[in-house]
Structure 1
Amino acid sequence: MKYLLIAVISYLIGNISGSFIIGNLFLNKDIRKFGSGNAGTTNAFRVLGQKAGLVTFVIDFFKGIILVLIIRKFFGYEYVPFGILFGVLGHDYPFYMSFKGGKGMAMTLGSLAIFSFKFTIIPYIIWLIIALTFRYISLASIMFFISSIISYGAFGDFSLENKILIAIVCLLGIIRHKSNIKRLLNGNENRIGGKK
């Protein structure tokens, strides 16, 4: 029963889509009908503009933080990775958006940063270096997920179950970037992050 409650709460928090809220409520735009059609931060920057894109990132980042704080307070620290997984699922596949959401980078970053900052800071630095050096946000995001799997799995003092859950969250993030991976391999990915 506890796991079911955590799953439902986390999924609903994940459903709070920054780009969908900003686009529909303030700019009269359904972001899914513009750009790449993805309800993520990069597409929000491209379609809605820099200010709206930044607000989108902040909403998605902080909903990850809020999710972790809620799960940790009412259910316990050990249940947080389970909550993160369902929160990201809610972000990626929101029921009221025909299950077409974002790719989970901002929410995953916010969730992991508050769950364990010391095991998230190196993956974030890797993300930042790649993003600033190569200007491929998609590549930076993929490397963030890969380095997070290594950081949490190889060096984290967590239970095996939670290491597996974190790995699943990150693998989901990589899978959500499969179109970007194809474009990177073909050499036609956009410098600002591709069609997100």
Structure 2
Amino acid sequence: MSLPSLAIFLALSYLIGSISGSYLIGKIFLNKDIRKFGSGNAGTTNAMRTFGKKFGIATFIIDFLKGFINISLVKIILNPSCDFLILCALFCVLGHDFPFHMNFKGGKGVATTIGTLAVINFYLTLYGVIIWIVVVILTKIVSVGSMSFYISIVFLYTLFGNYSDFTYIILIIIASLGIFRHNTNLYRLIEGRENKIGVKRK
């Protein structure tokens, strides 16, 4: 496949990724911009805290599906190498995190990352999700679970996968981006101010 064709698929991955579940739900059903409420983040956790559990779940599903469908279509249409699949995954996550039509102010990419990686290696990604859920249950802090997921997928893919150096590099970039997007959460964790599930901030 020619370089221009590959560039087109990367651009499409970014555009699909830029579809924001929380923004669409907020605008269509509540006529509200998610970025003006709560933490201002256009992701699942903020949607759940500000718009309610149903909207939060719907946001996660939309953001997961756009990643899953995007990489599935690339795989079906091109049958490319894993290197190109994970590169498309990165661009999809970049679209979610930095959507051009929202002044590059998007979410943190957890659901979209899960959706894209589920196509590349379903079981290793599932194990990462299980680790995420267990950590959230134990700590009652979503951000700790999310960052644990990003760290775990790097170790899981490295220990139990068989991929090229390029794929591992892109995976590390995706995980590092995800942790970086939680930088404000890290500051609040250090200061002991991070939100816990079921505990209202004083």
TM-score if structure 2 supplies the norm length? 0.92
Question: Cα distance, 1:121 vs. partner?
Answer: 2.1
Structure 2 residues without counterparts, runs of 5 or longer: none
Match of 1:192 in 2: 197
Q: What is the root-mean-square deviation in Å for CA atoms of aligned residues?
A: 1.5
Q: Deviations over 1:145-173 (max 9, x none)?
A: 00111111233111111111111111100
Question: Cα distance, 1:6 vs. partner?
Answer: 2.0
Q: Deviations over 1:116-139 (max 9, x none)?
A: 012212211110101111111000
Match of 1:87 in 2: 92
Match of 1:99 in 2: 104
Corresponding letter in the other structure for 2:170 = L
Question: Cα distance, 1:71 vs. partner?
Answer: 1.2
Divergent runs of 4+, >4 A? none
CA distance in 1, matches of 2:198, 2:152: 19
Instruction: Say yes or no: does 1:40 pair with 2:43.
Output: yes
Match of 1:173 in 2: 178
Instruction: Say yes or no: does 1:56 pair with 2:59.
Output: yes
Instruction: Say yes or no: does 1:131 pair with 2:136.
Output: yes
Question: Cα distance, 1:35 vs. partner?
Answer: 0.6
Structure 1 residues without counterparts, runs of 5 or longer: none
8 Å CA contact 1:138, 1:193 repeated in 2: no
CA distance in 1, matches of 2:80, 2:68: 13
Match of 2:21 in 1: 18
CA distance in 1, matches of 2:126, 2:28: 34
Correspondence for 1:158 among 150, 159, 163: 163
Structure of higher RCO (CA pairs closer than 8 Å, 6+ residues apart): 1
| Structure number with larger C-alpha Rg | 2
Corresponding letter in the other structure for 1:130 = V
TM-score if structure 1 supplies the norm length? 0.95
Correspondence for 1:5 among 5, 8, 24: 8
Tell me the secondary structure at the aligned position of residue 63 of structure 2: helix
CA distance in 2, matches of 1:106, 1:126: 14
Corresponding letter in the other structure for 1:88 = V
The percentage of aligned residue pairs carrying the same residue is 47
Q: When the two structures are aligned, how many residues end up with a matched partner? A: 194
